[in-house]
Each structure stands twice: as structure tokens, then as C-alpha cells.
């Protein structure tokens, strides 16, 4: 049976994440090796030519799953009939900036995109916001798409999740595949809280196995939370291939599901769980299946964890208040 191609919209297609992402989507790494895709590439007008160059290279790969590429600077064309939208296009931060400093520069991008998704996307649309500050941009997009269920919008904290898995694997000498049940709580920012208290390494509780509070506080948490800045410092550019890889992981896990007993981290519209105010886009532990997710309930947060979750959520509240003042939500 020939499957109908899935329409995948990628914004910022001519950017550095776009350049890593598009070839892997076309190779089947987003939705699976048996799912054909049609790409819709949205760019700003001056970058259309560069996007055309990328499209030429995509053609030249002769990917069996790639059934078409459309390049546009028009929102309606980009999101018309879109099933999966990856909102990447936005300015990256430079050395010395926090991601929240990008709010006024980037926030305005996500209001019209939210509206266009509302008006033109397919009924089964799923949206991942990558452009920073991702959580609050996700809030802006979701707020401007009143007819689309809020559960269809997500913001990327999978890169933080993957970074935390890698650091924990290094510390314990385990393989990354032995690490499970890790959580990123809160904002994709320096206030995020990577939580190992419920994580497992080879089935054993990670915090008990590590048993090193100084490492947790002074090494692990800051390394994960400030990894983006460390990469900008080292590369002179923000992370791109790892961000693209995390975006693929995020969407693939959303559709294909978390493993039995495990969960992942996604920025999603809060339903009030764990005291995170309803409506904020915050990262939670979630299980996924067939493009839906459920927040993992009932995890105990001790005073150490609670304080960190609350600090990150407070930052999300202040970002929301700022974009409300700008008339974006």
C-alpha cells in the first residue's frame, strides 16, 4: 500500500539548524523509514535563495521518501494542510545573552505563525517550537491558534534532556541506553531543572547511585543548564546539529511513543500539574503515544527539587507577562 505523504513544515529552513534537520527528515528520521514526506520550507524573503540551494541539495540526495519540496515566504502556503510544523526560524542568541533576551526580537514571529496554523493547518497538526525562547514562543503560537487544541503545541526541551542523559552516562560510566526516567522541568533556559531523583541507571535510582550532592549542584545541573552558552562560546555559533537531532527525537517519540516504564521531557501547555500555573508552556515528564502525551503524575518533589522547579516557573511567568505587555498573547 502506498502511504499518503505527511506534510512537514519547517520554518527558518535556510538557517543552520535547518541545514542539519531537513536532510534527516527526508531520510525518514522524523516519522520513520516507511513514511513519505512533503516539505514546506518557510523563510523570510531575503533567505529564499539560500533555501532554494538547500532544496537543490535535497533533490540531489534522491531520498526515496521525499515526495516534494515547496519553498515560500508566505505563511498560508507554508502551513496549508500541514501535519507537522517545526518552528525553527528565529534569531539565535549571541555570547553574553540569555535566551529570554530574544523575546522582543523573536516573539513577534510566532503570533502570525500561530494564526496561520489555526487557519490553514490540517486537523491533525502537531507543532514543535525550537526558536528561542522556545517555551514562551510556544505559548505565543498556541495562544494565537484558538481553534487548535493546546495539546498540539510543544516546545523543545529534548536537547536539554539528551544533554542530561549524556552527562549522567559519563558520570556513572553507563551507556546512554541504560539511562531512563530523567526529567527536565521548567524553561529551556539557565533556570531549567534537570532532575535525576527519579531517573534510573541500569534500573537503579540515579541519585542514590551517584550519591554526590556536590556534583549534582555544582557540576551536573549547571553543565546541562548552561550547555547552550558553552557551545556558543566554543563554536561561535549556537548548537545546530544536536538541536536538529533533538527535534527529530522529540517528534519521533511523540508519534512512536515512549518505552514502557520510561518517559521523556517536553515543553507543553500546563494543565496545572505540579503547581505549574495553567497555560504556561513548561517542561514536564511525559509519556507519549500516537501523537498524544500524558504528564507523568505523582512524582515526589523534595524541597531541593521544588525550589528549582519554582524558580524556573517564576521565570516563565515573567516571560509570559512580558509578551502579554507586547500584545503577543
* Residues classed as catalytic: 188
Residues between 273 and 302 that touch ligand NAD (CB under 6 A): none
Alpha carbons within 13 A on the beta-carbon side of 114 = 26
Tell whether residue 227 is among the known ligand binding residues: no
> What Cα–Cα distance (Å) separates residue 254 from each residue in 216, 267, 300, 313?
29, 12, 25, 23
**107 scored as a contact of ligand NAD (CB under 6 A):** no
Residue 153's φ and ψ, nearest 5 degrees, are: -105, 140
Task: Name the residue nearer to ligand LMR (CB basis): 39 or 134.
Answer: 134
- Closest separation in Å from C-beta 61 to ligand LMR: 26
- Closest separation in Å from C-beta 237 to ligand NAD: 7
Residue 16 contact, options ligand NAD, ligand LMR, none, Cβ 5-8 Å cut-off depending on partner type: ligand NAD
Segment interacting with ligand NAD (CB under 6 A) among 32-40, 91-99, 115-123, 143-151: 91-99
Q: Are 266 and 158 in contact (CB under 8 A)?
A: yes
- Closest separation in Å from C-beta 181 to ligand NAD: 21
- Closest separation in Å from C-beta 238 to ligand LMR: 4
**16 scored as a contact of ligand NAD (CB under 6 A):** yes
**114 scored as a contact of ligand NAD (CB under 6 A):** no
Tell whether residue 12 is among the known ligand binding residues: yes
Task: Name the residue nearer to ligand LMR (CB basis): 201 or 248.
Answer: 248
Tell whether residue 53 is among the known ligand binding residues: no
Report which secondary-structure segment, H or E, holds 131.
Answer: none
Task: Name the residue nearer to ligand LMR (CB basis): 40 or 99.
Answer: 99
What's the rounded Cα separation, in Å, for the pair 300 and 254? 25
**88 scored as a contact of ligand NAD (CB under 6 A):** yes
DSSP 8-state symbol, 5: P
Residue 231 contact, options ligand NAD, ligand LMR, none, Cβ 5-8 Å cut-off depending on partner type: ligand LMR
Residue 122 contact, options ligand NAD, ligand LMR, none, Cβ 5-8 Å cut-off depending on partner type: none
Binding site for ligand LMR (CB under 6 A): 92-93, 99, 132, 159, 228-229, 231, 238-239, 243
Burial string for 207-237 (b: 16+ CB within 10 Å, else e) reads bebbeeeeebeeebbebbbebbbebbeeeee
Q: Are 108 and 91 in contact (CB under 8 A)?
A: no
> What Cα–Cα distance (Å) separates residue 245 from each residue in 19, 110, 183, 249, 257?
12, 22, 18, 6, 17
**132 scored as a contact of ligand NAD (CB under 6 A):** yes
- Closest separation in Å from C-beta 91 to ligand NAD: 6
> What Cα–Cα distance (Å) separates residue 252 from each residue in 29, 246, 264?
8, 10, 12
Give the number of other Cβ atoms within 10 Å of residue 260's Cβ.
Answer: 6
Of 291, 224, 223, the C-alpha closest to 32 is 291
Report which secondary-structure segment, H or E, holds 319.
Answer: helix 303-325
Out of 30, 84, 90, 248, the only residue in the binding site for ligand NAD (CB under 6 A) is 90
Tell whether residue 28 is among the known ligand binding residues: no
Where would I find the beta strands (DSSP E) of the chain? 6-11, 37-42, 66-72, 84-87, 126-129, 153-155, 179-180, 183-185, 193-195, 200-201, 204-205, 264-269, 281-289, 292-295
Q: Which residue is nearest to ligand NAD (CB)?
A: 15
Task: Mark the binding-site residues for NAD(+), compressed into ranges.
Answer: 12-18, 106, 113, 130-132
Binding residues for substrate: 93, 99, 132, 163
Q: State the residues that interact with ligand NAD by CB under 6 A.
A: 11-12, 14-18, 42-44, 47, 88-93, 109, 130-132, 134, 156, 159, 188, 238-240, 243
Amino acid at each position: 500500500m502506498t502511504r499518503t505523504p505527511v506534510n512537514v513544515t519547517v520554518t527558518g529552513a535556510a538557517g543552520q539548524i535547518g541545514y542539519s534537520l531537513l536532510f534527516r527528515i527526508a531520510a525518514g528520521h522524523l516519522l520513520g523509514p516507511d513514511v513519505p514526506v512533503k516539505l514546506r520550507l518557510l523563510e523570510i524573503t531575503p533567505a529564499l535563495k539560500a533555501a532554494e540551494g538547500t532544496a537543490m541539495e535535497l533533490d540531489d540526495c534522491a531520498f526515496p521518501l521525499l515526495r516534494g519540496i515547496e519553498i515560500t515566504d508566505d505563511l498560508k502556503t507554508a502551513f496549508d494542510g500541514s501535519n507537522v510544523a517545526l518552528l525553527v526560524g528565529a534569531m539565535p542568541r549571541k555570547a553574553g545573552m540569555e535566551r529570554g533576551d530574544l523575546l522582543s526580537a523573536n516573539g513577534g514571529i510566532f503570533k502570525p505563525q500561530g494564526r496561520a496554523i489555526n487557519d490553514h493547518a490540517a486537523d491533525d497538526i502537531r507543532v514543535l517550537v525550537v526558536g528561542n525562547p522556545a517555551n514562551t514562543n510556544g505559548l505565543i503560537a498556541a495562544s494565537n491558534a484558538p481553534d487548535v487544541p493546546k495539546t498540539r503545541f510543544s516546545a523543545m526541551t529534548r536537547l536539554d534532556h539528551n544533554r542530561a542523559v549524556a552527562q549522567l552516562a559519563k558520570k556513572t560510566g553507563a551507556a546512554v541506553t541504560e539511562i531512563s526516567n530523567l526529567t527536565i522541568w521548567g524553561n529551556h533556559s539557565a533556570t531549567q531543572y534537570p532532575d535525576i531523583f527519579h531517573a534510573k541507571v541500569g534500573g537503579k535510582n540515579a541519585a542514590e547511585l551517584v550519591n554526590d550532592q556536590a556534583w549534582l549542584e555544582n557540576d551536573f545541573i549547571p553543565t546541562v543548564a548552561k550547555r547552550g552558552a558553552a557551545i556558543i562560546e566554543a563554536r561561535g555559533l549556537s548548537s545546530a546539529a544536536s538541536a536538529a537531532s533533538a527535534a527529530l527525537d522529540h517528534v519521533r517519540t511523540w508519534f512512536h511513543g515512549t518505552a514502557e516504564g520510561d518517559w521523556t521531557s517536553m515543553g507543553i501547555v500546563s494543565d496545572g500539574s505540579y503547581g505549574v500555573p495553567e497555560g504556561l508552556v513548561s517542561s514536564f515528564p511525559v509519556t507519549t503515544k500516537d501523537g498524544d502525551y500524558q504528564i507523568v503524575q505523582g512524582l515526589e518533589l523534595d524541597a531541593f527539587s521544588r525550589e528549582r522547579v519554582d524558580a524556573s516557573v517564576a521565570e516563565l511567568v515573567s516571560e509570559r507577562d512580558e509578551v502579554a505587555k507586547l500584545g503577543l498573547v
